[in-house]
Chain A
Amino acid sequence: MNDRWFVIRRKLLNNIVWILLLIAVVLIGGMEPSFFTPRILGNVLSQATVLGILSFAQAFAIMLGLIDLSLLGVMSFSATMGLLLIERGAPVVVAIPVIFATGALLGAMNGLLIAKLKAVALVETLAVKLTLLGAFLVITEGRAITNMPDSYKWFGQGSIGPVPTLPIALAIVFVVVYVLWNKTPYGRSLYAVGGNENAAHTSGIKVDRVKIIAFTISGLLSGISGFLLSAYMGAVTSTFGNSYDMNNIAAAVIGGVACSGGQGNVLGVLGGVLLLTVIQVGLQILGVSSYYVQMINGLIIFVAVLLDAVRLKTQHS
Chain B
Amino acid sequence: MEDIILQVENISKNFGMTQALKNVNFTIRKGTIHSLLGRNGAGKSTVVNIIAGIYRQNTGSVLLEGKEISSYSVFDRQNMGIKIVPQHASIVPDLTVGENIFLGVWPKKRVFVDWKRLYKDAEEELDRYGLHVDPKKKVGSLNGVDQRKVNIIRAMHGGAKLIILDEPTTALSSREREELFVFVNELKKKGTAFIFISHYLQEVVDLSDDVTVIRDGKSFPGADGEVLNEEKLANLIAGEDVELVCRDPKEHDKERELLLECRNLTGDILKDVNISFYKGEIVGLVGFPGSGARELCRTLFGMEKLTGGEILKGGSRIRVQNPSDAIARGIAYVSYDRHKEGIVGLMSIRENIGMSLFNTKLKNRLGLIDKTKSEQMASGYFEEFHIKANSTEDRLDSLSGGNQQKVVVAKSVSIEPELLILDEPTIGIDIKSREEIIENVNKITEEKNTSVLYLTNDFDELLRTVDRILFFRDGRLLQDVRNQNLSHEDVIQIRDAVGTDAGKRTEEVGRI
Interface residues in chain A, defined as those with a beta carbon under 8 Å from any beta carbon in chain B: 1-6, 179, 183-185, 188-189, 191-192, 195-196, 198-206, 262-263, 315
Residue of A nearest to B367 (CB): A184
A183, A196, A200 — most chain B CB neighbours (10 Å) = A196
Q: A203-B356, A206-B324 are in contact. List 20 more A-B contacts (CB 8 A).
A: A2-B18, A3-B15, A3-B17, A183-B369, A184-B367, A185-B358, A185-B368, A191-B347, A192-B344, A195-B344, A196-B344, A199-B341, A199-B355, A200-B355, A202-B303, A204-B323, A204-B327, A204-B415, A262-B344, A263-B346
- Cβ–Cβ contact B323 & A202, under 8 A: yes
Within the complex, what minimum Cβ distance (angstroms) separates A192 from chain B? 5
**Please, which residues of chain B bring their CB within 8 A of the CB of A183?**
368-369
**Please, which residues of chain B bring their CB within 8 A of the CB of A195?**
344-347
Known: A200-B344, A202-B335. A185 touches B359 (CB 8 A): yes
Known: A3-B18, A188-B369. A199 touches B323 (CB 8 A): no
Within the complex, what minimum Cβ distance (angstroms) separates B502 from chain A? 38
26 intermolecular pairs with C-beta atoms under 8 Å apart: A3-B18, A4-B16, A5-B16, A5-B17, A183-B369, A184-B369, A185-B358, A185-B359, A185-B363, A189-B358, A192-B351, A195-B344, A196-B340, A196-B343, A196-B344, A198-B340, A199-B355, A200-B344, A201-B322, A202-B323, A202-B342, A203-B411, A204-B326, A204-B327, A204-B328, A315-B397
CA distance A200 to B345 in the complex (A): 11
Within the complex, what minimum Cβ distance (angstroms) separates B393 from chain A? 13
Within the complex, what minimum Cβ distance (angstroms) separates A296 from chain B? 32
**Please, which residues of chain A bring their CB within 8 A of the CB of B471?**
none
Within the complex, what minimum Cβ distance (angstroms) separates B69 from chain A? 23
Interface string of B317-335 (1 = CB under 8 A from A): 0000011101110000101
**Please, which residues of chain A bring their CB within 8 A of the CB of B397?**
315
Residue of B nearest to A264 (CB): B346
- Cβ–Cβ contact A204 & B17, under 8 A: no
Within the complex, what minimum Cβ distance (angstroms) separates B448 from chain A? 19
Within the complex, what minimum Cβ distance (angstroms) separates B119 from chain A? 34
Within the complex, what minimum Cβ distance (angstroms) separates A199 from chain B? 5
- Cβ–Cβ contact B355 & A192, under 8 A: yes
The reply to whether the CB of B398 lies closer than 8 angstroms to some CB of chain A is yes
**Please, which residues of chain B bring their CB within 8 A of the CB of A262?**
344, 346-347
Top 3 A-B pairs ranked by shortest CB distance?
A: A3-B16, A185-B358, A195-B344
Residue of A nearest to B338 (CB): A199
Within the complex, what minimum Cβ distance (angstroms) separates B157 from chain A? 29
Within the complex, what minimum Cβ distance (angstroms) separates A236 from chain B? 36
The reply to whether the CB of B64 lies closer than 8 angstroms to some CB of chain A is no
- Cβ–Cβ contact B16 & A191, under 8 A: no
The reply to whether the CB of B362 lies closer than 8 angstroms to some CB of chain A is yes
**Please, which residues of chain A bring their CB within 8 A of the CB of B390?**
2
Within the complex, what minimum Cβ distance (angstroms) separates A12 from chain B? 15
CA distance A179 to B363 in the complex (A): 14
B326, B344, B345, B390 — most chain A CB neighbours (10 Å) = B344
Residue of B nearest to A316 (CB): B397
Interface string of B297-311 (1 = CB under 8 A from A): 000010100000000
A6 in complex: contacting residue of B16, B324, B328, CB < 8 Å: B16
CA distance A119 to B347 in the complex (A): 27
Residues of B17-36 whose CB lies within 8 A of A = 17-18
- Cβ–Cβ contact B346 & A201, under 8 A: no
Instruction: Give the secondary structure class of A's interface.
Output: helix
CA distance A262 to B342 in the complex (A): 15
CA distance A195 to B342 in the complex (A): 11
Within the complex, what minimum Cβ distance (angstroms) separates A249 from chain B? 20
Number of B residues with CB within 8 Å of any CB on chain A? 38
CA distance A234 to B171 in the complex (A): 63
Residues of B265-303 whose CB lies within 8 A of A = 301, 303
A199, A262, A263 — most chain B CB neighbours (10 Å) = A199
**Please, which residues of chain B bring their CB within 8 A of the CB of A3?**
15-18
Residue of B nearest to A317 (CB): B15
B358 in complex: contacting residue of A4, A179, A188, A201, CB < 8 Å: A188
**Please, which residues of chain B bring their CB within 8 A of the CB of A6?**
16
**Please, which residues of chain B bring their CB within 8 A of the CB of A198?**
340-341
Known: A185-B362, A191-B344. A204 touches B356 (CB 8 A): yes
CA distance A166 to B16 in the complex (A): 48
Within the complex, what minimum Cβ distance (angstroms) separates B236 from chain A? 23
CA distance A146 to B424 in the complex (A): 65
- Cβ–Cβ contact B16 & A203, under 8 A: no
Interface string of B170-184 (1 = CB under 8 A from A): 000000000000000
**Please, which residues of chain B bring their CB within 8 A of the CB of A192?**
344, 347, 351, 355
- Cβ–Cβ contact B324 & A204, under 8 A: yes
A185 in complex: contacting residue of B347, B369, B411, CB < 8 Å: B369
CA distance A179 to B397 in the complex (A): 25
- Cβ–Cβ contact A205 & B16, under 8 A: no
Within the complex, what minimum Cβ distance (angstroms) separates A186 from chain B? 8
Within the complex, what minimum Cβ distance (angstroms) separates A251 from chain B? 21
CA distance A199 to B355 in the complex (A): 10
**Please, which residues of chain B bring their CB within 8 A of the CB of A315?**
397
CA distance A185 to B355 in the complex (A): 9
A183, A200, A204 — most chain B CB neighbours (10 Å) = A204
Within the complex, what minimum Cβ distance (angstroms) separates B318 from chain A? 15
Residue of B nearest to A189 (CB): B358
A202 in complex: contacting residue of B341, B346, B358, B363, CB < 8 Å: B341
**Please, which residues of chain A bring their CB within 8 A of the CB of B41?**
1
- Cβ–Cβ contact A1 & B398, under 8 A: yes
Residue of A nearest to B41 (CB): A1
CA distance A263 to B411 in the complex (A): 21
Residues of B430-451 whose CB lies within 8 A of A = none
Within the complex, what minimum Cβ distance (angstroms) separates B320 from chain A? 11
B323 in complex: contacting residue of A1, A5, A191, A203, CB < 8 Å: A203
**Please, which residues of chain A bring their CB within 8 A of the CB of B301?**
202
